[in-house]
Chains A and B, each alone.
Chain A
Amino acid sequence: MSSFDFEFSSRRGIITGTMHELAVTESVLNIVCHHARRAEAKRIMSIHLVIGELSSIVDDSVQFCFDYLSQGTVACGAELVFERLAVRLRCAACGHKWQPGTADWTCPDCGLARAHIIAGREFYVDSIEVE
């Protein structure tokens, strides 16, 4: 098929990664430090995150990770504030909008399975409070 083989790739070393919470926390830290620097802030007091129900599982462990990673940065001591958004759907067949209570996403109005996700995938840093 090709002259390429597995030995060749493993000689270059194994590619390694990080834990999920760590990856998310690093990303949040990069984003907020960048914005704080631009605003010439001395300190970030709080970080407001918007997290849809369908996006990554993010819980208190992120604060723990954040406290560790942010040492020595402008974000050290900042409190993470989570705003969680529920899933909202719109039926592409009849236009009905609703918030599902279960994994049954068939439209409660017309009974068809044509749900379009209008909210619940959010995963972003909304704002920071600085001084």
Chain B
Amino acid sequence: MSPSRIPVVERIMGANKQLATQNRQTLDAHGVHCVNFMASPGAGKTSLILRTAESLDGRRVLGVIEGDVASTVDAEKVRDAGLPVVQINTGGGCHLDAAMVHRALSELPLDAFDLLFVENVGNLICPVAFDLGEHTRVAISSVPEGDDKPHKYPAIFTSVDALVLNKIDLLPYIPFDVTEFCRLVRGLNPRIRIFEVSCVTSEGLDEWVEWLIERTAKA
């Protein structure tokens, strides 16, 4: 028998996408707005989540899903701040996927929340490909990482609704061209919102939190 070609044309991430859509429906049914935070290790994902929770000051009720390769260090920090949290350990995996979040959702009292933050695994590549069912995607860059990230990892900047540039209190000490960085990021994604913040000095946090509140306002 001679070989024959069969057209398939099926998305590789189709199964994940399907489950992500289910997650989104579940979240919508409970009136929960989900935010997926993606960044390199050490960019300040947990710090931003904690500082944002403080600044929200009860204006939104928040739950957190913590994704990590291993350990419960971040989840413990979040729990110690009084936030309900579920830990996902990916056991070496470089990203969260919709199935993991699906299981985590079943462990959270969704009716109690308005807002759910998902802290993805620290990585600028893999998480981008996996829709979790979130409503808002946020990338965090930080000054010490350097201003070359749009050159090295353009895909993440094209996929997010907002970019938080964290650790701006370090700008006097580290060469980082904010203007050129923001120009490149806006070129990659004309719709992106950029927030320059410091989780240490609180600079810029208000503007970011107001945007988040506006975005999650219930119709």
Contact = CB atoms under 8 A, between A and B. Distances in A.
Interface string A26-54: 01101110011001011001000100001
A114 B75 CA distance: 39
B116 to A, nearest CB: 12
B8 A128 contact: yes
A61 interface: no
A14 B183 contact: no
B6 interface: yes
Contact of B93 (A20, A105, A123): A20
Interface in B50-98: 61-63, 72, 75-76, 79, 82-97
Given A1-B84, A123-B12, A124-B11, A115 B190 contact: yes
Given A10-B87, A20-B94, A123-B13, A128 B6 contact: yes
Nearest to B123: A20
A127 B109 contact: no
A18 B86 contact: no
Interface residues of B, number: 62
Contact of A10 (B6, B72, B125, B154): B72
Given A127-B6, A130-B6, A4 B112 contact: yes
Interface in A55-85: 55-57
A105 B151 CA distance: 11
The bracket for how many chain A residues form the interface is 35 or more
Interface in B1-41: 1-16
B129 A56 contact: yes
B193 interface: no
A106 B187 contact: yes
A30 B14 CA distance: 11
A61 B11 CA distance: 20
Interface of A: 1-6, 8-10, 12, 14-20, 23-24, 27-28, 30-32, 35-36, 39, 41-42, 45, 49, 54-57, 92, 102-106, 113-115, 117, 123-131
15 contacts: A2-B61, A6-B79, A10-B72, A14-B89, A15-B89, A15-B104, A23-B16, A28-B12, A31-B14, A41-B6, A56-B126, A102-B151, A115-B188, A125-B9, A130-B6
Given A17-B96, A56-B128, A124-B9, 11 more contacts: A18-B91, A20-B129, A35-B8, A56-B129, A105-B188, A106-B187, A113-B186, A123-B129, A128-B5, A130-B3, A131-B4
Interface of B: 1-16, 61-63, 72, 75-76, 79, 82-97, 99-100, 103-104, 107-109, 112, 125-126, 128-129, 150-151, 154-155, 158, 183-184, 186-188, 190
